[in-house]
Amino acid sequence: MRIGIRTLVFVVGALLMLVPAIVAGSMFTNAMQRRAEVANSARLRVLGEIVADQLGRRMHELWQDVDGMARAMRLDNPEEVRRQFTLLSQVDRRYTWIGVADVQGKVIAASKGMLEGASVAERPWFRRGLGGPAAVDVHEAVLLAKLLPATPEPRRFVDFSAPVRNEQGAVIGVIGAHFDWNMVRDIIQAVRGQGVDALLVSRDRTVLSGPQELKETTLSEGSAIAASQGTSISLRERWQDGKDYMTAVIPSIRFKDMPSFGWSLIVRADLNTVLDPTRAISQAFWMMLGAGALVGLILLYLFSAWLAKPLRRLVATAEVLASGRTDQPPHDETRYEEAARLSAALVRLQTFSVRPYQPSFAAKDKSSAAAP
């Protein structure tokens, strides 16, 4: 069975209309999604740099304070030193403990007298502080755990220390300060929201601060490996929870000449949350395109029916003439030139087929001459 002109026009027209529209629409939405990913990746990087800079500045201020106190400190009056340390810890709540120890590691003076007389010779802040200004990564309270009020979670600190020198430049002690880890955690967690997480990661890829389910875990994602290698990178990757995230890595958190803690910052955003606005736009675009295509198909169908109707009537007339019937005149088609011309031709054929046969005069004369 052969296809009719109405179906042919409709199918071919639909293909010519829909295929380019679908291809162009797909290219447009894909390009829009890629642009959204690039824009959000840049946004995450800027956000990470802001947080890293803010954290670096805060820690640098504390480090400068500790180093400045070490330069100005005199150890000949431990009671006055204790009073100053106690006042500082009361005024600035970031200082959980601050004290100074002699070169043997014995605490000479400390805020509220805590740990005075105790040995801190094996503590990292003291050993590193003998050689110069030092920063010690986050750790749980060891000697102070029994002296401080109990908290729901174990107390954790970051330490700064610096050597105390006499007028001749010889090291006579080390000043050390324990800062509450919550200060750092609050800066990092201020980023969290709207599908965005900030993770503070140590050199060995351990999560120091971040989503509860990732705390104290060791990451194996590409972003964490890049962070441990000091590489700045932005990428799209799947994490342990099976979700896809856009990730930006700030490989180092430091400010000016402050000693590094070895921290890196990873800022990630749930891809679904990030791309929801773009997907909403894409969905609206496809709905509008679909509605337009539906209207176009309806108009195309009506056009194909309009185009085919004269031809169908003329075909019916031609079939009647072919069967020998001449009592049904062709429809006077005027919709378009080809149909009008075909209609006129059928009228002439019908007229010719109904005209009686009349022999010519020449034929009659020849007949008369042949008679005896």
State residue 123's pLDDT score: 92
**Mean pLDDT, range 154-169, rounded to an integer:** 89
Q: Which residue has the tokens 């939405």?
A: 29
Tell me the CA distances in angstroms from 51 to 72, 265, 294, one per residue in order: 32, 9, 50
Tell me the CA distances in angstroms from 324 to 251, 314, 347, 354, one per residue in order: 93, 16, 14, 10
Tell me the CA distances in angstroms from 2 to 5, 15, 81, 313, 323, one per residue in order: 10, 19, 105, 18, 22
As a whole number, the mean pLDDT across the chain is 84
Looking at the predicted structure, is the pLDDT value of residue 258 above 70? Answer: yes
State residue 354's pLDDT score: 57
- With cut-offs at 50, 70 and 90, classify the pLDDT of residue 363: very low
Looking at the predicted structure, is the pLDDT value of residue 315 above 60? Answer: yes
The C-alpha atoms of residue 87 and residue 90 are separated, in whole angstroms, by 5
CATH topology of domain 60-184: Beta-Lactamase (3.30.450)
Tens of pLDDT, residues 330-362: 777 777 788 788 878 877 777 776 555 455 544
The 8-class DSSP code of residue 119 comes to: B
State residue 329's pLDDT score: 72
Of 39-43, 256-260, 265-269, 298-302, where does mean pLDDT reach its minimum?
Answer: 256-260
Looking at the predicted structure, is the pLDDT value of residue 288 above 90? Answer: yes
State residue 189's pLDDT score: 80
The C-alpha atoms of residue 270 and residue 268 are separated, in whole angstroms, by 7
Of 3-12, 26-35, 73-82, 182-191, where does mean pLDDT reach its minimum?
Answer: 182-191
Tens of pLDDT, residues 215-254: 888 898 899 899 888 888 888 899 988 888 999 999 888 7
The C-alpha atoms of residue 200 and residue 55 are separated, in whole angstroms, by 11
Orientation angle between helical segments 181-189 and 5-72, nearest 10 degrees: 160
Same fold, 14-49+191-277 and 60-184: yes
Q: How many residues does the chain have?
A: 372
What CATH superfamily is the domain 14-49+191-277? PAS domain (3.30.450.20)
Q: What percent of the chain has pLDDT over 70?
A: 93
- Alpha helix (H) residue ranges in the chain: 5-72, 78-91, 124-129, 181-189, 222-228, 271-322, 337-354, 361-370
The most confident of the ranges 114-123, 147-156, 185-194, 305-314 is 114-123
Structure tokens at 316: 């019916």
Domain spans of the chain, in order of start: 14-49+191-277, 60-184, 288-354
Cβ proximity of 252 and 193 under 8 Å: no
Q: Which residue has the tokens 């004290």?
A: 99
Write the single-letter amino acid at 321.
L
HSE-CB at 145 with a 13 A cutoff on CA atoms is 10
Radius of gyration of the chain (CA): 45
Cβ proximity of 155 and 141 under 8 Å: yes
- With cut-offs at 50, 70 and 90, classify the pLDDT of residue 176: very high
Structure tokens at 232: 């700045």
State residue 372's pLDDT score: 46
**Mean pLDDT, range 314-334, rounded to an integer:** 75
The 8-class DSSP code of residue 134 comes to: E
Q: Checking DSSP bridges between strand 171-180 and strand 95-102, what pairing results, if any?
A: antiparallel
State residue 364's pLDDT score: 47
State residue 371's pLDDT score: 46
Backbone angles phi, psi at 201, to 5 degrees: -125, 140
